[in-house]
Each structure stands twice: as structure tokens, then as C-alpha cells.
Structure 1
Amino acid sequence: MQFHHHGYVSQDPRVLPASGTGVDRPTDLPDEVDVLIVGSGPAGMLLAAQMSQFPEVTTRIIEKREGRLELGQADGIQPRSVETFQAFGFAERIIAEAYNIGWMNFWGPDPENPRNIRRTSRTADYAYDICEFPHLIVNQARVLDYFAEAAAHGPARIVPDYGVEFAGLVVHEDGDFPVEVNLKDAEGERTVRAKFVVGCDGARSGVRDAIGRKHVGGVSAHAWGVMDVLVNTDFPDWRTKCAINAEAGNILHIPREGGYLSRMYIDLGEVPEDDQHRVRQTPIETIIAKANEILHPYTLDVREVAWHSVYEVGHRVTDGFDDVIDGSGRTPRVFLTGDACHTHSAKAGQGMNVSMQDGFNLGWKLGAVLTGRSPESLLATYGAERRPVAQQLIDFDREWSSLMARKPEEISDPNDLATYYLATAEFPSGFMTQYTESMITGSDAHQTLAAGFPLGKRFTSAEVVRVADGNVVHLGHHARADGRWRVYAFGDRDGTALSAWALSAAEVFARFTPSDADVDAVFDVKAVHQQPFEELEVTTMPELFRPRTGPLGLADWEKAYAAGPSKWTQTDIFEARELSRDGVVVVVRPDQYVAAILPLEGVDELAAFLEGAFLPAS
């Protein structure tokens, strides 16, 4: 973490100085706002945390609840989400309080006594095979708390306006604030005008209805009971994630944070066509009894039920993620995120995770457009990028739900669920998303120069050695969700081409950086050298890699890295990520996805790519 560059700091460095709209932020909701976020769920709170990094933009978030969420339904945190938490500055703290899924065990009928269950396999979880971040379980309410803290501690000082309910909107064709939004609160009804509105208001989204978007899909004829419980039990895997298949039904069992609490998804079977959702009224006593029947010969003595519900599996994707329905190509003014535009079962642990990535994708784009960095056409890429991801999620969840609901006689291989779980791990972990070519994702013409950084996929971090002090750090962990683009310049063998690139590229970056801003305010450029760090000196490097920033004009000592290996790591990032020894430039978007791969001599190509994504700086 870097601080003191604006002067000595003695308080918590995570609390950034207020600026812009964060200075003397009005308590009452203004009549006009740049961005109005409706709903404080995972997508909404991440979006608020991201927008807090743009204090030039007036952002407000409304929530019909009277205060913070106390009991969240979502709890699975995939590695990509933990990676995102790292960018917002709270990964280490939430890991400390969460449950880490290290293993997943599978249970099936005992051949000698099919009424009983037995463990059929013990499988290590996929997280650490894919990245450096774990697979966690933690209450959704705590995730929202951390994002709320990040939003409140950002320069814009964003906090939710609780007790305010969305009541409808109208999008006008012109005006500086073309979206007219009707709201209700304890004092009555009022109208707010906004440049942009983001519906993060759940599966029954009022924003979705207001813009005429429709959920496409249906509900399967299968019901599950879910409960968070504190129990005494003789089931030996109570503190291990389990998929349990029995003659009496199926259970997905997930230990939760704190060492005692666990969540169970209990198979309630097929639902008759004329049920009219009566299954949703199933008493908790019936759900507990069913769980005991499935777990036989083991028993659960439930001491407390923290929360429970019954749901029928649904798979729906909204027919569009913004309000541009007529194909006119106009600028979208209203966006949908999270459950407002995709719903599915809870068992794949994707709802909160995919919703947060919706917010991450949209937030920096709104900030870039509203601060004049990028053209409004950037906003059309939100729906173009996120809707295919939602459809992939629905397809995956339909397959996983079907596998989980099978009867024993339908299973030919008792290990096939474990095999599927591991074989498809990259998708649920959040790392299969790959955006296609667009104004912010370039051509793959130079992909061979950086095979380990697939274009359009999230930047996969690796260990490097910081030149200034010899410390081993993860290159990607330095990036923060501050709206800046990252540019990683991997040097050639002797560094000659890298130095030449730095001189030419600095002029390109200057075209899109305001003259009164720090030189790295838009592009955070890092150099990674092939030579050992002991052979390098920061003070001899081009100014692009040691910029002077802040009101004191202090040199930044953390832009230059060496590939390793060193005493503290055996990782050579050039080998680990299959990087050309002739050097390569990897451009990464603010949401951590690889946007462009270019040779060191391709400065003109770099300029051409940035001209498509940015406006010239004023």
C-alpha cells in the first residue's frame, strides 16, 4: 500500500481524503444526480465503491430497507471475487473471517445397505490450482459491509440513502439529466433527475419493469429447502463441503464462517404442475426431517435455525441489460445488473459473484464517460459484454442443477459429479469470462507474445521482485479499483527496447491525461525487467517508470520490477506467463481484463488502440 505521497499520514491510510462531491456531501438526496444506483445488493454496493473513486461525479445509492442488510442469502465467494476484493482493499480481512473451502467430499448409497450413505471420494477444492486466492464462504451482509466501507472511505464519500423506494422512471430524449425517477420515502413522493440509472434491485426489479425489459426462461419442477443451522451431529464431514446423493434425495452441504454454522440445500423432490408454489410453504420441521432421512445413518440435532427458505430452481436471463430496445444506437441511460437481469439456482454459488462483476464492468465505464475520458459509446459495451456471460452462467447452472438432482439409479459412475466439479472449475471460479474484440478489447494479432495473458480474460497475476527494495510481490495485487488502466511493459533481454518504448509511449499516454493531473492519473505503467533486481537501479530508468506525482512531486519507487527468480521466489514471470524474451506490452482495463497485447516497437498500434477507447485530454 502506498501513502504519504500527499503529505504525512498518521490515520488509517485506507480512508482517502475527501474531494469533489465528497467534500461537504449533502445529507439529503439532491434533485439532480449523475448516477442513481437503485438497490444496495452486491452489484449496487460494488458500483458505489467504484464510483467513490470518481469524486467529480455525483453518485447516490438508494435502498428501500431502513438500514444495512443483517442476514444475507448468498454466501459463496469464488476466487475471482476474492481477487476483486483485493482491488478494493479488503481481501485479507474478509479471508480472515471467512470459511475457506479446502476440500469437497462426495457421498452416495452404501452398496451393502443402500438406505445408508457412505463417502465415495474426497476431492481437493479447485481454488489454489487456478490462482492464488481461496474459495470462501462468508455472509453476504459482511461483503456488503466491506464494500460500504470502501464507498464511504473513497474520495466521494458515498453512503446509501436508506428508506427510499424506487417507484418508476421515464427516459426523456434530451436534457442534461434525461432520466426522471419517481421515489417514495417516509415524507412522501418526490422526483429526482439523473444522467444514468442503474437497477441493482433484484429479481423483482422495478427498474427492469420500468424500461420494458423481460426475464426470459422458466422455473423447473424441482424444489429445494435451504437452511443455515447450528447443530450437534455425528456426520463426520460436517465441516467439509459435501455433495450427498442418497435414495431419499440429495443434499449440498456447505460449512459457513465461524466454525459452527453450516448451510444445507435439501432436495424436496419434483413439484406437481398444479402446485401453485405451495411447496414454498414447506415447514422447517419437514426440511429438517428430510435432511435426517437423506443423511441416514447419521443424524442432525438442530439447535438453532438462523435462516431458511424454499425455492424452485429458475433459469432466466433478461432480454437486454440496458434501455436501448429499438436498436437505435443511442446512448444507454438505464442499466440492469445482478438478479435484475439474470437469476438461477443458488447451488453453483454464482449469484453474488457474477452480480459483483456486473457492477465492476459498468462502474469504471460510467466514471470514464462522466469525467470526459471516454466517449459515450463505451457504455454500450456493458450489455454487449455481460449478457453473454449471464447466458453462459444459466447454461452451466442448468447442467449443475440437473446433476445435483439425480436419483441414485440414474448415476452410472459414482465419481462423475466429482469429475464434473473439477473439470469445470475454471467457470464457477470466475476465470472463464473472455470478452471479444471491441473498442476496449483489441485484436489478438500479437497473442503469441504473451500466451499466458489471453486477450479478453482477466489478468493472471504472478510473483515479481520489486527493484527498489527486493521484496517479492504479486504484480496484479498492486492494481486498485481506482478507475485507472494498467500497462505492464515487459522488457527485452538487455532493456534497450524497453527504454526506447518508454520515451515514445510517454507521449502517447500524455495525449489522454489531463495536463493538470498526475502523469499516472489515467495510466498506471509498470516495467518488468528480465534482469535480476540486483543488477537494476530505479534512478537510471526512464521517467515513465519513476514519475513524480502528488502536490509534493515525490518520485514513485514502485513502478519497476524484475522477473526473478530471487532468494524469495523461484517464479520467472516470463516463463510462467509465456512472455516473449523480446519484450511485450500488456494493457489491462480498470476491471482487470486484458485489453491489448502489443510488441515494444508497436507504439503506433498502442496509440491507435487508445484513440478508440479514450477522448483526447482537455
Structure 2
Amino acid sequence: MQFHHHGYVSGDPRVQPAAGIGLDRAAELPDEMDVLIVGAGPAGMIAAAQLSQFPGVSTRIIDRRPGRLAVGQADGIQARTVETFQAFGFANRIIDEAYRITEMCFWKPDPENPRNIVRSARTPDDPHGMSEFPHLIVNQARVLDYFAEYARNAPGRVEPDWGWDFVTLAVEEGEYPVAVTLRRAAEAGASAGAAAGEERVVRAKYVLGADGARSRVREAIGRRLEGDQAFHAWGVMDVLAETDFPDIRLKCAIQSHDGGSILHIPREGNHLFRMYVDLGEVPHDDNGRVRLTTQEEVEERANRILHPYTVNVKHVAWRSVYEVGHRVTDKFDDVPHDEVGARTPRVFIAGDACHTHSAKAGQGMNVSMQDGWNLAWKLGHVLEGRAPESLLDTYSAERQEIAVNLIEFDKEWSSLMAKRPEDMEDPSQLEDFYMKTIEFPAGFMTQYAPSMLIAGDEHQDLATGFPIGKRFKSHPITRVCDATPQHLGHHHRADGRWRVYVFADAAAAGEASKTADLAEWILSSPDSPVVAFTPEGADVDAWFDVKVVYQQDHTEVEMDRVPPVFLPKVGPFGVTDYEKVYAAAPTDDIFDARGISRDGAIVVVRPDHYVANVLPLDATEALADFFAGIFRKQPAAV
């Protein structure tokens, strides 16, 4: 964490100085705004948190609830999401309070006595070391709390406007073309200028509908969830209970002989746990009657599956009954396919508003947050004039394909969970599928296709461990200025900046080399993105965070010989930022671990952690062309 460069900070350094709209945030929802976010769930809150780092953008987020979510339904936090939390500054805090999944146990009918279940396998949760961060279980409400805190403490000072119900919208003309009709929610009570049930119209440049599976925003733009229903029901319960089941504090997939299945997930706090209890097939003419299944019936079914073990529920924190459905919209914005490029998207949908599936793969909240983050930094770029409006077309193009892949994965996983063991092609089919596909539920299968934001793979061989289009996988390095071990990716904050990682060639700092030539070009060439696009008066690293990693041990890198672009002067006092100069760790060399050429490489990473380009150190023209396709020339450059 960096602070003091704007002057001495005596309080909480996580509270950033207010700027832009954050200097005088209106208490009441204004009549006009740049971005209106509908829904303060995972997709909406991460979008608000990211946009709070763009204080020149007027962002408001509304929700029909009277206040914060008290009990969340989602709880699974994949490792990719914890990486995201690191970017927003609260990964370690949430890890401390969460349940950490390290193993998964599989239980099946005892071959000697099929009425009983026995443990058949136990598998590590991350056998391949996909991330330095763990797989967690934590209440969705706490996740939203952390994002709310981040947005409230960021320069834009974004906070939810509670108690507003979305009614409808219309896209018209003008500077604020989206007219949104809102209604004061009855449970919110009266407020200044708006009594319960009273309607008003506000106008926005862009609207994000993150308002759930029954999204009215989706309905207003004519999108529909398309897909199928599996006609299989599950009862889910968060409970405190007494039990003799030995793996009650381990994640388990439990399959009985004739009673169905359970997906068992321990919860944070060491006492609570969640069970997804198989309620069996649902007749096509059920018309939702299965949702009337009582808690007593769910508990009875759970005990039948767990035999010879028993569970005696003492307290129910939350429960529900649902039928599995797999649905996705064909597009995540309001522009028809045949009009893409002809007009700008004005309304977007994210999260459950555009994809629904079972809860058992633990994907809903995780994928929803990546939706919101993907869109938010792009809106910030466009609204601040950094990038053209065509950037917004990439949101639906990137995220809709991810949603389709998620639906296909969840269909297979849900189907296997619902199968009886004797109906499977192989007794170990469920655990084999879990291990074979482990990268997907961990959040690491996402790979965006080439676009204005993702380059081709012509130079991928220079850094094979950073696949273009996939998330930047961090690795230990040594920070030269203070000789401390660090994780390179942990300094990639959700501040809207692009990262340009310069992995140096074999020459030492200060010697004539391709690294030195590149450093000089970045700082002085009119074609350099830093020179061409950074606004006049802004810090030199305001939009592009340029870092260097030397091959030598940190003791062999002399800071006074490092090129100035890696030691920028920042803040109103022009003090040097020393935290952009790194060296490969001698015992775990990043060049070897990530397949980086000893001739060096440039790795470009987007604001949301995805690798956008890999280039040779001397490919300055290609680097300039790549950013010229994304950024707009500023009125006056540095």
C-alpha cells in the first residue's frame, strides 16, 4: 500500500482523498448522472467500486432494499475472485474470516452394505498451484460489505441509494439519453421529496442492470433468458446442527444408493454448514409445488442420504428450495447483433440478469463480479474520454461467451451430482470430472478472444506462462528498493490503470540494452502511450503503470542506474516512486516459472488483470499501434 505522497496521512490509509464528484456528493439521487447501476448485488457493487476510482464519472447505484443485505444466498469464492479482492485491497481481511477449502471428499454407497455411505476419495482443492490464493466460503453479504466500504472510501465516494425500485427505461436522444422511471420502494418508507410508491424519472448516459434473474432492466431492453429447466429440485439449508458425520468440516459430494445426493459445504465461523439436498425429479406439470417442500422433509431426506450417520438440526439460518435451470441471454447490451458498430450500447445487463444456473458449482457470484468489473473500467475509460465508445462493444462480446461456457459446465456437473452411482459409466466419474475440470470452477479457464483489447499470439513464445487473453498469473519477485519479497501481481490495484511489465534482457541496470532503449522510448517518444495519452498535469504513471523485472539478483541492481521511467516522480511534491523496480527471486525465478525469454519481453495487462499483449522489447511500433487502437489522443499530452 502506498500513501504519504500527497502529504502525511495520520488516519486510515485505505480512505483515499475525495476527488471529483466525491468532493460534494449529493445526498439525494440526482436527476442526471453518467452511470446508473440498478441492483446492489455482486455485479452491481463491484461495478460501483471500480467506477469510484473514476471521480470524474458521476455514478449512482440503487437497490429496492432499505439497506445492506443481511443474509446472502451465495457463498463460494473461487481463487480467481480472491485475486480480484486483492486488487480492491481486502483479500487478506476476507480470508481471515472465511472458511478455506483445501480438500474435497467423495462419499458413495458401501459396496458391502449399499444402505450406508463410505468415503471413497479425497482430493486436494488446488493440486496444480493455480493460484497463491485459496478457495473460500464466506457470506455474500460480507463480500458486498467490503465492496461498499471500498467504494465509500474511494475518491468518488460512491454509496448505494437504498429504497428505489426500477420500473422501466427508454433510450432517447440528448446528453443523458436513457430515461429511467423509478419508484420509491414501500419498505423504504418516505424520504426527502419522495414518498413510498411515488415515481420519478432520472436520466443517465449509461445504465447497468444488475437486478437479478427477474431483471426488469433486461425486460425493458427486450432481452430474454433462453435455455432449459432440468426438472430436478434441491433443498438448500444453512444450519447449526449436531451430527456424527465425520467430514462435517470438509467440503463433500455425497451420493447414496437410493436417497439422492448431497453437496455439503462448511461455512465460515467453524459451526455453520450448508447442505444442498437432492429432492429428486420434478414432474413437468409440478408448477412450482416442489418449492413448498418443508424444512422437516428436507432434513428427513438428508438423513436418509447420510445413513448410517445422522444430522440433528438445531437452528436454520436460511433455507430455500429451487429447481435447476440453465439460461443465458444472447447478448448483454441493448444493441441488436445487426447494429453492432452502428450505434453505441447504452444499457447493459450483468450477473443473474443475463445468466442463471445451479448454485452447486459455486459460480454465480464469482462470474457476476467478473461481469461487473469487465464493464466498469470500460465505462470509466469512455466517460473520461480515454477511449472511444466502441470499447463498450467488447463487454457483451467477451462476457456472453463466458456465460455460455459456464452453462455447459454447470449442466454436466449438475447432471452428475443428480445421478445415482449405479447409473454412472464409471464409479469414479464424479471425482474424475471434478479433477479434470478443476481450472474452470476456480475461475481460470476464461480466455478472451482477439479484439481491440486482446492482441494475437504472434509473440506468445516470449512469455508462455502469461497466455494472451487469460488472467495475469502472479509470481514471487524481490522489490529492489527495500529487498522485500513480493508477489508481482499483488500491486495491480483496481485503479483503472493499464500495466506494462518490462521483463528485462540479460544486461544489468544502466548498461546499454534493449531494456534501456525501451525505457527511453516510453518516456520520450511521441508515439509512446505514456506520452501520447497521459493528460497534461497528471502523474506520468496516471494511466500506465510501467514496471521492470531484472534477471539479476536484487543485490546486483543499483537503483541510481535504473532508467527514470521506472522511477517516476508522483504526487504534488514530485517524490520518487521506488516500488516499480523488481528482481527475479533467486530461489524461484519468474523467468523460468513463467517461461519468459532471457532476451526479455513486454507483457501488457488490462485494468481487470487480463493479459492483453506480449511483445519483444524492441517492438515499440507494435506497442504504440496496440494502444492507439484503444486510447484517444488527449487535448494536450505530457
Could you state the TM-score of these two structures normalised by the residue count of structure 2? 0.95
| Structure 2 equivalent of residue 184 of structure 1 | 183
SS of the equivalent of 2:445 reads: coil
Indicate the SS of the match to 2:24: coil
Cα distance between partner residues in 1 of 2:415 and 2:320: 20
Question: 1 CA distance for matches of 2:580 and 2:118?
Answer: 54
Asked whether the equivalents of residues 127 and 133 of structure 1 are also in contact (C-alpha less than 8 Å), the reply is: no
1:266 aligns with 2:277: yes
Instruction: Provide the residue aligned with 1:103 in structure 2.
Output: 103
Out of 527, 546, 549, which is 1:525 matched to? 546
Aligned to 2:232: 222
Alignment pair present for 1:603 and 2:620: yes
* Amino acid across the alignment from 2:609: Q
The answer to whether the Cα contact below 8 Å between 1:539 and 1:546 also exists between their aligned partners in 2 is: no
5 Å matches for 1:455-534? 455-495=468-508, 496-506=513-523, 507=525, 508=528, 509-534=530-555
Q: Which letter does structure 1 place at the counterpart of 2:564?
A: E
Residue 335 in structure 1 maps to residue 348 in structure 2: yes
Instruction: Quote the Cα distance in structure 2 between the aligned partners of 1:505 and 1:448.
Output: 23
Q: State whether structure 2 residue 242 is matched by structure 1 residue 242.
A: no
1:479 counterpart letter in structure 2: H
1:203 to 197, 205, 213: 213
Instruction: State the one-letter code of the partner of 1:92.
Output: N
Using the TM superposition, give the Cα deviation of residue 326 of structure 1 relative to its aligned residue in structure 2, in angstroms.
5.5
Structure 2 CA distance for aligned equivalents of residues 127 and 207 of structure 1: 41
Given that 1:127 and 1:429 are in contact with CA atoms closer than 8 Å, whether structure 2 keeps it comes out as no
Counterpart residue type for residue 612 of structure 1:
G
Task: Give the Cα–Cα distance (whole angstroms) in 1 for the partners of residues 298 and 114 of structure 2.
Answer: 21
Amino acid of the residue matched to residue 428 of structure 1? P
Q: Does 1:592 align with 2:609?
A: yes
Kept in 2: contact 1:528–1:561 (CA 8 A):
yes
Distance in 2 of aligned mates of 1:555 and 1:449: 31
Residues 115-151 of structure 1 show CA distances to partners (whole Å, capped at 9, x for unaligned) of 1101001111127721101000000000000000000
Measure, in 2, the Cα distance between the counterparts of 1:436 and 1:274.
42
* Secondary structure of residue in 2 paired with 1:93: helix
- Equivalent in the alignment of 1:64: 64
1:367-423 Cα deviation digits (max 9, x unpaired)? 000000001000000000000000000000000000000012212433221121111
- The CA distance in 2 between the partners of 1:408 and 1:475, in whole Å, is 45
Find the aligned partners of 1:398 and 1:530 in 2 and give their Cα distance.
46
8 A Cα contact 1:127 1:134, kept in partner: no
CA distance in 2, matches of 1:176, 1:279: 49
- Write the distance in 1 (CA, Å) between the matches of 2:548 and 2:421: 56
Match of 2:223 in 1: 213
Runs of 4+ in 1 over 3 A off after TM superposition: none
Distance in structure 2 (CA, Å) of the matches to 1:580 and 1:10: 44
Contact 1:501 1:603 in 2 (8 A): yes
SS of residue matched to 1:71: coil
Partner of 1:553: 574
User: Which moved further from structure 2: 288-297 or 117-126?
Assistant: 117-126
Alignment correspondent of 2:294: 283
Q: Provide, for residues 251-308 of structure 1, a one-character-per-residue CA deviation record: whole Å limited to 9, x for no partner.
A: 0000000000000000000001111110011001000000001000000110001110
CA shift, 1:336, in A, is 0.4
Distance (whole Å) between structure 2 residues aligned to residue 202 and residue 262 of structure 1: 25
Partner of 2:132: 132
Shift of 1:228: 0.3
The one-letter amino acid of 1:290's match is: R
The CA deviation string for residues 534-555 of structure 1, in whole angstroms up to 9 with x for no partner, is 0112222111100001001000
| Residue 322 in structure 1 maps to residue 296 in structure 2 | no
The amino acid across from 1:314 in the alignment is G
Match of 1:344 in 2: 357
1:410 maps onto 2:423 in alignment:
yes
Deviations 1:188-239 (A, max 9, x none): 1100000000000000000000000011102111000000010000000000
1:116 equivalent in alignment to 2:116: yes
Which of the residues 360, 364, 375 maps onto 1:362? 375
Write the distance in 1 (CA, Å) between the matches of 2:241 and 2:449.
48
Please name the residue that 1:313 is paired with.
Answer: 324
Q: TM-score, normalised by structure 1?
A: 0.98
Residue 297 of structure 1 aligns with which residue?
308
Q: Report the aligned-residue RMSD.
A: 0.9
Distance 1:167 1:57 in 2: 24
Counterpart of 2:603 in structure 1: which amino acid?
V
**3-state secondary structure, aligned to 1:129:** coil
The residue number in structure 1 matching 2:449 is 436
Residue by residue over 1:502-561, the C-alpha shift from the partner in whole angstroms, topping out at 9 and shown as x without a partner, is 111223011010011000000000000011110112222111100001001000010100
* 2:187 alignment partner in structure 1: none
- Over the matched positions of the two proteins, sequence identity in percent amounts to 63
Q: Say whether 1:255 aligns with 2:255.
A: no
Secondary structure, aligned partner of 1:373:
coil
Q: Deviations over 1:165-185 (max 9, x none)?
A: 10100001x310000000011
In structure 2, give the amino acid aligned to 1:251: I
Q: CA deviation at 1:52?
A: 0.4
> Is 1:126–1:422's contact at 8 Å kept on the other side of the alignment?
no
Deviation per CA, 1:553-581, whole angstroms, max 9, x where unpaired? 0000101000121xxxx110000000010
1:389 is the counterpart of 2:440: no
Q: SS state of the match for residue 34, structure 1?
A: strand
Q: 2: distance between equivalents of 1:230 and 1:31? A: 47
Q: Secondary structure at the match of 1:369?
A: helix
Query: Matches of 2:393 and 2:567 in 1, distance apart?
Result: 36
SS at match of 1:397: helix
Partner in structure 2 of residue 175 of structure 1: 174
Q: Write the letter of the residue equivalent to 2:264.
A: H
The separation in 2 between residues aligned to 1:235 and 1:337, in whole angstroms, is 39
1:26 pairs with 2:26: yes
- Asked if 2 retains the 8 angstrom alpha-carbon contact of 1:468 and 1:537, the reply is no
